[in-house]
Structure 1
Amino acid sequence: MKAAVKHNISDFKEYLKSNDIYMEENIDENDGSVHFSVGLETEAGAKIQLIAAFQSEHPAVDIYCFNVALVPDSTSKNDILHVINELNTSYRFAKFTLNKQNAIDISTSLAFSEPNFNPALVFEHTRMLYKLANDEYKNLMKVIWA
């Protein structure tokens, strides 16, 4: 693992600790990447998993919000994909996708040049994905229930 990435992970852990924020740390034994995760339920009712993933060889952070909404097989894929396209047009910093398990996810990435890592920015983008999941959950469910 690159020294800069280790430093970024350490800074992020310290940021979480100093702000009394709980995210579980996990290390991938295959590639050494580290991710921090937390399961939450939004005010609107989405049961999501937020993840900030640090790659072992690059100082970028990938941020995910998994399982915003589950799309039953009976739902029109065209209608869901249309809504996802509209969301991807509306939000510049986040990407909505339909995964192989028929769940809608949101993701974004932040690239940092050494030594300009900002743990507060990583957390703010993680928080923004939570807010997007909360804000868009009802709209997604309207299409799913239609």
Structure 2
Amino acid sequence: MEQLYSALNVQIANWSVLYTKLHRYHWFVKGPFFFALHEKFEGLYNEAAEVVDEAAERLLAIGGTPASSLKEFLSLCTLEESDGEVKAEDMVASLSADYKHLKEQLTSIAQLAEEHEDQVTADFAIGLMEKLDTHIWMLNAYLGE
């Protein structure tokens, strides 16, 4: 179970850092697509906050201890923070890459959970993967890919 606990803590850290990145993008986006992206980033950071809470509660329910400090998040995170000025298109490309990375990790979590006969955690991971598929598709469509 320790592997599953660790994997869920990485998710908590990643989604926490992503939450902050999305806030940054929401505040600093500029250009002709400002209104659409400003609103989209807000929806995504609200979703990220919900994912952090759900993952932490799931981890507690199965006997683990969720990471709960910025120091822990930064030490566990496998996503990159955003700093400096970033163009809107680069924001979208970064988020697409982040969501692809998260999806890969969630695939592993689903497999680990099934190995431990924890269908609820597997379902949690699979449900997130479905959301991420939609986000990746939409972000890539914005980029013309």
Same fold (TM over 0.5): no
Name the larger-Rg structure.
1
With CA pairs under 8 Å and 6+ residues apart, which has the higher RCO, 1 or 2?
A: 2
- Greater share of residues in helix: 2
TM range (shorter): 0.3 to 0.5
Q: TM-score, normalised by structure 1?
A: 0.36
Q: TM-score, normalised by structure 2?
A: 0.36
- Greater share of residues in strand: 1
